[in-house]
Structure 1
Amino acid sequence: MSDSSSGCTEPRAAVTEAEVEALVHGICFKTGPPRALGVEVEWLVHELRSPQLPVTPERLEAAYAALRTVPLRSALTVEPGGQLELSSPPAASLMECIGTVSADLDAVRAVLAKDDLGLVGLGHDPWHTPRRFLRERRYDAMEACLDRRGPAGRHMMCTSASVQVCLDAGHEEPGPLGHGRRWWLAHQLGPVLVAAFANSPLLGRQPTGWLSTRQLLWTEIGAGRAGAPPLDGDPRAAWARHVLDAPVMCVRRDDGPWDVPEELTFREWTRSAVPRPPTRDDLVYHLTTLFPPVRPRGHLELRMIDAQPGDDGWIVPLAVTAALFDDPGAAETTYRAVKPLAERGLALPAPHNPLWIEAARSGLADPELYDAAVACFAAALEALPRLGASHQVTGAVAAYLDRYVLKRRCPADDLLDPLRGTDRRAHGKDIRT
Structure 2
Amino acid sequence: MTQLDASTRKDLRPIEDVAELSDYLASGCKPKDQWRIGTEHEKFGFLRDTTKPLPFSGDRSIQAVLEGLSAKFGWERLEEEGNLVALKKEGASITLEPGGQFELSGAPLRTVQETCSEVTKHLREVEAVAGPLDVGFIGLGAAPFWTRDDMPKVPKPRYTIMRKYMPTRGDLGLDMMHRTATVQVNLDFSSEADMVKKFRTSLALQPIATALFANSPLTEGKPNGFRSWRAHIWTDTDPDRTGMLNFVFDDDFGFERYREYMLDVPMYFVWRDGEYFDATGCSFRDFLKGECPAAPGQLPNIEDWKDHLSTAFPEVRLKTFLEMRGADSGSWGRICALPAFWVGLLYDQESLDAAWELVKDWTAEERVALRPEAAKNGMSGEVGNIRIKDVAARALELSRAGLKRRAELDAAGTDETGFLNPLREIVDTGQSFACQFLREFEEGADAKTLFERYAF
Q: Are 1:158 and 2:178 an aligned pair?
A: yes
1:397 aligned onto 2:395: no
Aligned partner of 2:23 in structure 1 is 25
1:263-412 to structure 2, matched below 5 A, reads 264-271=282-289, 273-275=291-293, 276=296, 277-280=298-301, 281-308=303-330, 310-340=331-361, 342-343=362-363, 346-347=364-365, 353-367=368-382, 368-387=387-406, 388=408, 394-401=417-424, 403-412=425-434
Q: Deviations over 1:323-381 (max 9, x none)?
A: 111122222222222334x31xx149x7xx21211111111112422111000112222
Supply the AA of the counterpart residue of 2:433. Answer: P
Aligned position for 1:10: 10
2:163 corresponding residue in structure 1: 143
- Please name the residue that 2:454 is paired with: none
Q: Give the Cα–Cα distance (whole angstroms) in 2 for the partners of residues 28 and 116 of structure 1.
A: 47
Query: Which deviates the most, 222-231 or 133-142?
Result: 222-231
* Pair 238,207 (structure 1): closer, same or farther in 2 beyond 3 Å: farther
After superposition, the Cα gap between the structure-2 partners of 1:371 and 1:103, relative to the gap in structure 1 and judged at 3 Å, is same
SS in 2 for 1:303: strand
Q: Which runs of 5+ in 2 are unaligned?
A: 75-88, 451-456
2:315/2:325 contact within 8 Å kept: yes
**Aligned Cα root-mean-square deviation (Å):** 2.7
CA distance in 1, matches of 2:397, 2:292: 54
Alignment of 1:194-205 (within 5 A): 194-205=210-221
Q: Compute the displacement of 1:242 (Å).
A: 0.9
1:54 paired to 2:31: no
Identical counterparts, % of pairs: 26
Provide the rounded CA distance (Å) in 1 between the counterparts of 2:442 and 2:358. 33
C-alpha separation in 1, matches of 2:18 and 2:427 = 43
Please tell me the residue identity of whatever aligns with 2:53: P
2:265 counterpart residue number: 246
In 1, the alpha carbon distance for the partners of 2:157 and 2:6 equals: 9
Unaligned runs of 5+ in 1: 427-433
Q: Which residue of 2 aligns with 1:429?
A: none
Take 2:178 and 2:186, find their aligned partners in 1: how far apart are those partners?
22
Judging changes above 3 Å, is the alpha-carbon distance between structure 1 residues 228 and 251 closer, same or farther for their aligned structure 2 residues? farther
Give the Cα separation in 1 of the matches to 2:167 and 2:5: 22
Greater Cα shift, 26-35 or 139-148: 26-35
3-state DSSP of counterpart to 2:211: helix
Counterpart amino acid of 1:205?
G
Is the 1:25–1:240 contact (alpha carbons within 8 Å) kept by the matching residues of 2?
no
Q: How many residues align?
A: 405
Per-residue CA distance 1:33-90 (angstroms, 9 max, x = gap) = 332111011111112465x323232222111111123245432112221111111111
CA distance in 1, matches of 2:422, 2:269: 46
CA contact (8 A) 1:94 1:389 kept: no
CA 6–243 in structure 1, closer or farther in 2 if over 3 Å, else same: farther
When the two structures are superposed, what TM-score results if normalisation uses the length of structure 2? 0.81
Q: CA deviation at 1:251?
A: 3.6
Q: Is the CA contact (8 Å cut-off) linking 2:230 and 2:328 kept in structure 1?
A: yes
Looking at structure 2, the residues matched to 392 and 45 of structure 1 have their Cα atoms a distance apart, in angstroms, of 33
Report if the CA contact (8 A) 2:45-2:53 is conserved. Answer: no
CA contact (8 A) 1:315 1:393 kept: no
Distance 1:399 1:261 in 2: 42
Distance 1:392 1:118, change over 3 A: farther
SS at match of 1:118: strand
CA distance in structure 1 between the partners assigned to 2:221 and 2:126 by the alignment? 28
Task: Answer with 144-153 or 119-128: which moved more.
Answer: 144-153
Counterpart of 1:431? none
Please point out which of 195, 200, 218 is paired with 2:234.
Answer: 218
Q: CA offset at residue 226 of structure 1?
A: 2.2
Contact 2:340 2:419 in 1 (8 A): no
For 1:45, give the aligned amino acid.
Answer: G
Contact kept, 8 Å, 1:40 with 1:87, in 2: the verdict is: yes
C-alpha displacement at 1:219, in angstroms?
Answer: 1.8
Shift of 1:319: 1.0
User: Which is richer in strand?
Assistant: 2
